[in-house]
Amino acid sequence: MLEGKLYIVGVGPGHHDHMTYRAKQVIEESDTIVGYETYVNIVQDLIEGKDVYRYAMTQEVERAHQCIDLAKSGKIVSLVSSGDPGIYGMAGLIYEILAESDWDPKNGLPVEIIPGISALNSCASIIGSPLMTDFAVLSMSDLLVPWEIIVKRVEAAAQGDFVIVIYNPSSKKRIHQLQDTIKILLKYRKPTTPVAIIKGAFRDSQTVVLTDLENLTNHSDKLGMITTVIVGNSSTYNYKDLMINPRGYTSKYNLQEQENPKLKV
Ligand SMILES: C[S@@+](CC[C@H](N)C(=O)[O-])C[C@H]1O[C@@H](n2cnc3c(N)ncnc32)[C@H](O)[C@@H]1O
């Protein structure tokens, strides 16, 4: 039997400069590329002459099976996924399908995940240093997770004073989820808590809005399928166009002392 391989490749936020060397290497090595059409477009100039399977959104199960079948038939397949494939990406579904079919990771079909820069760290880098202390990541999508469970997680993250990164904040059909989340957050956080809305990070269409919790919904035109929202915790502050989450050094040191800063007593 031919020995194929399945790579599950994170292509980063959407620009080549933010794709890893290894991601480019395995895409070049592959003879077959599978992915949601927007992600395939991101790697368009690397895939000339290859067999390319473009999928519309919501065909994930079909896409996953096709990749597994192609790799089993001897193809070197790259399944491209935005950001990191292990964060709300395709890695989980592939492993779930393989696990259900009693796949042996040591001797069965070779599978390798190529990590990528996720929306959370690409978006964070654009607006400063918002993720310097503990943070939680929540997705507002209730397609696969019941809304009651998401509400519990929002409540816990809000109560725990985590900085909160929100993926899939809203879509044309999904409006109330972010509004309900803001109401929960306002039970625990000041209305002036800094919020950043980053749309299309590192893409030509990139937009960034710095606002606060009570004004977040005034920017609904910036929310959508490629937007990430970052909500500060009780110590987050804005400095000019940046969001800063202090790591805690100011409680220990005078940061203006350049030589041997002494511990504060
Ligand atoms: C299904 S999740 C996939 C996340 C991806 N695997 C990752 O690690 O970034 C899709 C969500 O990721 C976020 N996202 C993806 N690309 C983005 C970008 N370029 N700028 C801002 N947010 C992005 C948005 O919140 C979007 O709704």
Q: What is the per-residue pLDDT across 181-229, written as a single tens digit (0 to 9) for each?
A: 999 999 999 999 999 999 999 999 999 999 999 999 999 999 998 999 9
Res 201: pLDDT: 97
Q: Is the pTM above the cut of 0.75?
A: yes
Phi, psi of 170 (to 5 degrees): -165, 165
pLDDT: which is higher, 21 or 1: 21
Q: Confirm or reject: Cβ of 87 under 6 Å from ligand 1.
A: yes
Q: Confirm or reject: Cβ of 88 under 6 Å from ligand 1.
A: yes
Res 263: pLDDT: 73
Q: Where do you find CATH 3.40.1010.10 in the chain?
A: 5-117
Q: Confirm or reject: Cβ of 198 under 6 Å from ligand 1.
A: yes
Give the Cα separation of 10 and 5 in Å (integer): 16
Pairing of strands 237-239, 76-81: unpaired
- What is the per-residue burial (b if ≥16 Cβ within 10 Å, else e) of 228-253? bbbbbbeebebeeeebbbeeeeeeee
CATH pick for 5-117 out of 3.40.50.720, 3.40.605.10, 3.40.1010.10, 3.30.930.10 = 3.40.1010.10
Phi, psi of 154 (to 5 degrees): -60, -45
Give the Cα separation of 201 and 123 in Å (integer): 6
Nearest-CA residue for atom 5 of ligand 1: 83
Q: Where do you find CATH 3.30.950.10 in the chain?
A: 120-244
The first and second tokens of residue 52, run together, are 């390319």
Averaged pLDDT for residues 44-56: 93
Q: Confirm or reject: Cβ of 213 under 6 Å from ligand 1.
A: no
C-alpha 98 to ligand 1 mean position (Å):
25
Nearest-CA residue for atom 27 of ligand 1: 168
**What's the mean per-residue pLDDT of the chain?**
94
Q: Confirm or reject: Cβ of 89 under 6 Å from ligand 1.
A: yes
Architecture of the CATH domain 120-244 = 2-Layer Sandwich (3.30)
Asked whether the predicted pLDDT for residue 2 surpasses 70, the reply is: no
CB within 8 Å of 179: residues ≥ 6 apart: 217
C-alpha 7 to ligand 1 mean position (Å):
20
